């Protein structure tokens, strides 16, 4: 799950200026003035991390020391985190596998393949095509639908989740 979150953060940063601006959603509580362009990507990353926290409690789960819990407790918590984070991913990203074959299948990588879509491991010789066994199908993003993030103060990033204080 942490690897998936890190991958999403990298994807968001790498998309840079290719992103089309979207108007803010009416239901978002994050409607604030637009930050400086240099901080826009970072604000959007933090905002998506906040979405993963809100929907799946991802940050709570990752920041917790799970070594004090037994496997059944960690597994039960992971199911809740998985369900919420998966729903958030599916809502905001169009993700598909790089390869459709089953892992363990024989595949051929053509000459001129997209270098960011494949990690060749093992005995690599020549320029290709390459034949080998698919170890992992890979994932790629074909679309992103994040709301435009607006911030009041451009000298700091948005909060992932506010501290909750019950007043007496």
**Predicted pLDDT at 7:** 43
Q: What is the pLDDT of residue 41?
A: 81
* Residue in the block written with tokens 């601006």: 21
Q: Cβ distance 9 to 2 under 8 Å?
A: no
Strands (E), the chain: 93-97, 106-109, 130-133, 139-144
Confidence of residue 155 (pLDDT cuts 50, 70, 90): confident
Taking each helix axis from N to C terminus, what angle separates 71-92 and 2-15, rounded to the nearest 10 degrees?
Answer: 20
The predicted-structure confidence for 83-115, as pLDDT tens digits, reads as follows: 999 999 999 999 999 999 999 999 999 999 999
- The pLDDT score that the predictor gives to residue 146 is 85
The DSSP secondary-structure symbol of 131 reads E
- pTM metric for this prediction: 0.67
Indicate the pLDDT class of residue 168, thresholds 50, 70 and 90: very high
Average pLDDT, the chain: 81
Q: List, as one string, the DSSP characters of 7-31.
A: HHHHHHHHHGGGPPP-PPPTT-S--
Residue 132 tokens read as 């080998």
Instruction: State the pLDDT at residue 23.
Output: 42
Task: Retrieve residue 45's tokens.
Answer: 């990353």
pLDDT(20) > 50: no
- Report whether pLDDT(8) > 60: no
33 confidence band (pLDDT: 50, 70, 90): low
Please determine, for residue 14, whether its predicted confidence score (pLDDT) is greater than 50.
Answer: no
């Amino acid at each position: 799950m942490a690897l998936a979150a890190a991958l999403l953060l990298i994807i968001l940063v790498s998309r840079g200026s290719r992103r089309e601006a979207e108007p803010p959603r009416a239901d978002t509580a994050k409607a604030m003035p637009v930050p400086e362009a240099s901080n826009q990507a970072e604000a959007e990353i933090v905002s998506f991390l906040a979405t993963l926290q809100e929907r799946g409690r991802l940050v709570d789960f990752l920041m917790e020391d799970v070594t004090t819990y037994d496997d059944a407790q960690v597994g039960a918590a992971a199911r809740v985190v998985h369900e919420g984070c998966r729903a958030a991913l599916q809502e905001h990203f169009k993700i598909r596998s790089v390869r459709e074959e089953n892992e363990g299948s024989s595949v051929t990588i053509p000459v001129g393949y997209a270098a960011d879509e494949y990690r060749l491991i093992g005995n690599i010789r020549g320029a290709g095509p390459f034949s080998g066994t698919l170890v992992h199908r890979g994932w790629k993003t074909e679309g992103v639908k994040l709301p435009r993030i607006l911030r009041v103060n451009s000298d700091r990033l948005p909060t992932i989740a506010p501290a909750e204080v019950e007043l007496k």
